[in-house]
Amino acid sequence: MQTELSRHLGIEHAVFGFTPFPAVAAAITRAGGLGVLGAVRYTDPDALRRDLDWMQEHTGGKPYGLDVVMPARKVEGVSEADVEAMIPAGHRHFVRETLARHGVPELAAGDRSGWRITGWMEEVARAQLDAAFDYPVALLANALGPPPADVVTRAHAHGAVVAALAGSARHAARHAAAGIDIVVAQGYEAGGHTGEIATMVLTPEVVRAVDPLPVLAAGGIGNGEQIAAGLALGAQGVWLGSLWLTTDEAELHSPALTAKLLAAGSGDTVRSRALTGKPARQLRTAWTDAWDDPAGPGALPMPLQGLLVAEALSRIQRYEVEPLLGTPVGQIVGRMETRRSVRAVFDELTAGFERAVDRIDRIAGRA
Amino acid sequence: MQTELSRHLGIEHAVFGFTPFPAVAAAITRAGGLGVLGAVRYTDPDALRRDLDWMQEHTGGKPYGLDVVMPARKVEGVSEADVEAMIPAGHRHFVRETLARHGVPELAAGDRSGWRITGWMEEVARAQLDAAFDYPVALLANALGPPPADVVTRAHAHGAVVAALAGSARHAARHAAAGIDIVVAQGYEAGGHTGEIATMVLTPEVVRAVDPLPVLAAGGIGNGEQIAAGLALGAQGVWLGSLWLTTDEAELHSPALTAKLLAAGSGDTVRSRALTGKPARQLRTAWTDAWDDPAGPGALPMPLQGLLVAEALSRIQRYEVEPLLGTPVGQIVGRMETRRSVRAVFDELTAGFERAVDRIDRIAGRA
């Protein structure tokens, strides 16, 4: 599965795998794709360095990428405490009440960890980048549009290509104008932040909007047939995130969450503002229901919502409080049915792609 | 573009085109696809006979289909007047007020026409079928799930295959158990009634759920690349509805509506209950905004909403009141940019399909 882009990057298959877990990212790269490590949870740059050291040792010189979360617009002189002060008391009360209703225990001292608002703030992202540029990162992706101009320049000087996610052709064209190299067209059915245009419609629109830049199709892609579909739509590769969550290498540290993912159907996700304040697709849970309930206070805008719920999410995850337990994931969760190795998943992707091409060739009268 | 299903039906390309306009349906059939005429607006069976006579004369013996709207569950002894009586006065007031705010004139005497609730009621659908079975209809589709068992039996005796739309794998399996022959998997991005699962995810789920029945991919398909994608996902054909609305042969009788369709982007549709009471994708207008506004009364359930708004929609259409003027249409409306003949559209579909197969073959290293 070779495109101009995959050849440029020196990978065997035009499959880009996004994951927060180094072991998954490395396994994707080893299997012939390009593993992209999500950096948002690394509030400590030294922790990121340790994991990138590990990635170096386990990718055998093959290329991998890093995904940061960096807003293009900078907010000067605003501390986490300033942002904390903007959160209404009623919303804090709603969090306490919702957790209490489900009997969620307090965290033990020293047990605070996991997702923090700080990962969304530019100074943290810049510290992550300072660490990352000590490694041969081949691709730098930004989940919130194009990174600032100086970061693009620095990535290019480093020999890395820069990718940015877009949920509309208009956003994609803006990213292209900011000098990035690859647009990830993230469809409605994708896990995480996503717009309302489905992959089937979005991909060719973005391809046309940013031509000749390469586009990766993201959203709704979890098997080889879907990869063939994404490439038929004009993408130069596919970007998969959800599919790896139930692999053997994924360090979810929650048997209950893994079980929920394996049991969920394609209709069991919701596009909700509960997590960050912007619409993000995730498992539908009692938690998302509470925030999406018109009778409740509703989610705050980004970044307030993320800050408001960070500790609550840590508590829910730490104690695996089943009704509230969720994660960003796309509609393909319906086809995640068994735990398997990244290698097994990847081999099935490539085999399924070949079968889909056989089928299309027969339909076109070429086989 | 040949599949087992297209060969069975004796059509050149596995492209099924749904349309309310006989001239469009006939042109699709003549171009080598299968034109499917929507019957919902024919409250008079003789009008349907006249148009089917015309179809016979203009399809040169090639196969065509008919789409009826028939609920599988029968409501005995309920008249249109009974249903009228269930509509709250506040909702009628809201309709009057919304029309008045936009200065929509009353209809002249004898000007009442267009979409009526009656098209949704079983006795009307049965009268349509009595007419249809006097013609060599090759495919009978039902937009509200499987038709009643006796209709399926009658269609089969007539030599017609029966298709039913489904927005989830669960619904599709239920349709298959009812003895139908083809499932149309209607994705989130489609125009008209649609669920929340996008075509990219829905198509392979439905293919697996109803195997070995053939599946048509619907939603988000408006060019040859999207056809290739739908077929890569395991469909035996594609079902296109929106794309024909701006063809030369479409009798929209509204230059303002045609202009709105040509100008709209993929983000200018909304999945709203404003039209029928069930979520249906359509152009977003001041009318859908009014019904979707949390401060308003909200849409009534089907069939009440359709009955409530029927005359209002006729008035809006008759006087082309631009801000309120809409139609069911899918997200591909963003790519409907010029008026062209059905033949030109169809030829571009098949050429685009061949280009997409060329591309996929190159990526797979087969060309």
The CA-based angle B207-B212-B213, given to 5 degrees, is 75
Distance CA A277, CA A296 (A): 15
Q: What is the mean pLDDT of residues A290-299?
A: 95
Count Cα neighbours of B249 within 13 Å in the Cβ-side half-sphere. 20
d(CA A236, CA A217): 8
Q: Does A365 touch chain B (CB under 8 A)?
A: yes
The token pair at A72 is 């293009």
As given in the structure block, the two tokens for residue B137 are 């209809």
Alpha-helical regions (H) of A133-215: 149-157, 169-177, 199-210
pLDDT for residue B113:
53
ipTM computed for the complex: 0.95
- What are A323-338's pLDDT values in tens digits? 999 999 999 999 999 9
Rounded distance between C-alpha atoms, residue A325 and residue A114, angstroms: 14
> A4-363 domain in CATH 3.40.50.800?
no
- Which chain B residue shows the shortest CA-CA distance from A208? B335
pLDDT at B278: 93
Q: Which position has the token pair 């060329």?
A: B358
CA A350 to chain B, closest CA, distance in angstroms equals 10
> How many whole angstroms separate alpha carbon A268 and alpha carbon A329?
10
Amino acid (1-letter code) at residue B138: A
Name the pairing type of β-strands B161-166 and B139-142.
Answer: parallel
Question: To which residue do tokens 């031509």 refer?
Answer: A211
Look at the alpha carbons of B231, B205, B265, A146 in this order and tell me if their dihedral is positive or negative.
Answer: negative
Contact present, B241 and B19 (Cβ < 8 Å): yes
Q: Is the pLDDT of residue B110 over 80?
A: no
**Mean pLDDT, residues B331-340 taken together:** 97
The whole-number pLDDT of residue A150 equals 92
User: Omega before B323 cis (within 30°)?
Assistant: no
pLDDT exceeding 90 applies to what percent of chain B?
83
What was the pLDDT predicted at A120? 57
Interatomic CA distance for residues B119 and B47, integer angstroms: 13
| Closest residue of chain B to A168, computed from CA coordinates | B267
How does pLDDT run across A189-198, given as a tens digit for each residue?
Answer: 999 999 999 9
Q: For B236, name the nearest residue in chain A, comparing CA atoms only.
A: A363
Nearest-neighbour CA in chain B from A79: distance (Å):
36
List the one residue out of A209, A220, A226 whose CA is nearest residue A186: A220
Q: Which of B260, B264, B284 is nearest to B274 (CA)?
A: B284
Residue B198 to chain A, least CA–CA distance (Å): 6
For residue A344, what pLDDT is reported? Answer: 98
Which among B323, B333, B317, B128 has a CA at the least distance from the CA of B222? B333
| Three-state secondary structure string covering A3-72 | CHHHHHHCCCCCEEEEECCHHHHHHHHHHCCEEEEECCCCCCHHHHHHHHHHHHHHCCCCCEEEEECCCC
The nearest alpha carbon in chain A to B167 belongs to A267
DSSP label at residue A301: P
Q: What is the CA radius of gyration of chain A?
A: 20
Quick check: B186 and B195 in contact, CB under 8 A? yes
User: 């992959």: which residue's tokens?
Assistant: A199
Position A359 scores a pLDDT of: 97
Is any Cβ of chain B less than 8 angstroms from the Cβ of A221?
Answer: yes
Residue of A110 and B150 predicted with greater confidence? B150
Give A197-218 pLDDT, tens digit per residue. Answer: 999 999 999 999 999 999 999 9
Angstroms from B290 CA to nearest CA on chain A: 18
Which of A303-307, B121-125, B180-184, B351-355 is the least confident region?
B121-125
- Cβ-Cβ contacts under 8 Å, B223 against chain A: 204
Q: Is pLDDT of A356 > 80?
A: yes
User: Residues B200-217: pLDDT tens digits?
Assistant: 999 999 999 999 999 999
Looking at residues B12-19, what average pLDDT do you find? Answer: 98
Q: Is the pLDDT of residue A117 over 60?
A: no
A215 has a chain B CB within 8 A of its CB: no
Nearest to B233 among A229, A234, A335 (CB): A229
Residue B84's pLDDT band (boundaries 50, 70, 90)? confident
Q: Which residue among A200, A204, A363 sits closest to B231, beta carbon to beta carbon?
A: A363
Query: Any idea of the CA torsion for B129, B130, B133, B138, to the nearest 10 degrees?
Result: 0
Q: How far apart are CA A165 and CA A155, in angstroms?
A: 17
Q: State the distance between the two ends of chain B, measured CA to CA, in whole angstroms.
A: 19
Average pLDDT, chain B: 93
Q: What is the mean pLDDT of residues B116-139?
A: 81
- What is the C-alpha to C-alpha distance for residues B275 and B324, in angstroms, rounded to an integer? 12
pLDDT exceeds cutoff 80 at B288: yes
Instruction: State residue B114's pLDDT score.
Output: 47
Label residue B115 by pLDDT band (50, 70, 90).
very low
Q: What single-letter amino acid sits at A287?
A: W
Look-up: residue for tokens 């829910």?
A: A316
Average the pLDDT over B296-301 and give the result: 95
Instruction: Give residue B41's pLDDT.
Output: 84
Q: Tell whether the model's pLDDT for residue A177 goes beyond 70.
A: yes
Sheet holding B192-193, edge to edge: B192-193, B280-283, B269-272
Task: Say if CB B268 and CB B250 are below 8 A apart.
Answer: no
For B:45-84, CB contacts with A below 8 A are none
Nearest Cα residue to A316 out of A367, A262, A360, A260: A260
The interface residues of chain A toward chain B in range 298-337, judged by CB-CB distance below 8 A, are: 330-332, 334-335
User: What mean pLDDT comes out for the span B61-83?
Assistant: 79
> How large is the average pLDDT for residues A292-312?
92
Contact B244, B17 (CB under 8 A): yes
Q: What is the 3-state secondary structure (H, E, C) of chain B?
A: CCCHHHHHHCCCCCEEEEECCHHHHHHHHHHCCEEEEECCCCCCHHHHHHHHHHHHHHCCCCCEEEEECCCCCCCCCCCHHHHHHCCCHHHHHHHHHHHHHCCCCCCCCCCCCCCCHHHHCHHHHHHHHHHHCCCCCCEEEECCCCCCHHHHHHHHHCCCEEEEEECCHHHHHHHHHCCCCEEEEECCCCCEECCCCCHHHHHHHHHHHHCCCCEEEECCCCCHHHHHHHHHCCCCEEEECHHHHHECCCCCCCHHHHHHHHHCCHHHEEEECCCCCCCEEEECCHHHHHHHCCCCCCCCCCCHHHHHHHHHHHHHHHCCCHHHCCCECCHHHHHCCCCECHHHHHHHHHHHHHHHHHHHHHHCCCC
B 246-305 residues with CB below 8 A of A? 265-267, 294
Q: How far apart are CA B37 and CA B23, in angstroms?
A: 9
CB-CB neighbors (< 8 A) of B359 in chain A: 231-232, 234
Q: Residue A262, SS3?
A: helix
CB pairs < 8 Å spanning A and B: 162
Nearest CA in chain A to B366: A357
Please check whether residue A40 is in contact with residue A268, taking contact to mean a CB–CB distance below 8 angstroms.
Answer: no
Cα separation of A16 and A37, whole Å? 11
Which residue in this structure is represented by tokens 């590769």? A237
- Name, in order, each residue with C-beta under 8 angstroms of A177's C-beta and a sequence gap of 6 or more: none
**Which pair of structure tokens corresponds to residue B160?**
């017609």
**Which DSSP category does A188 fall into?**
T
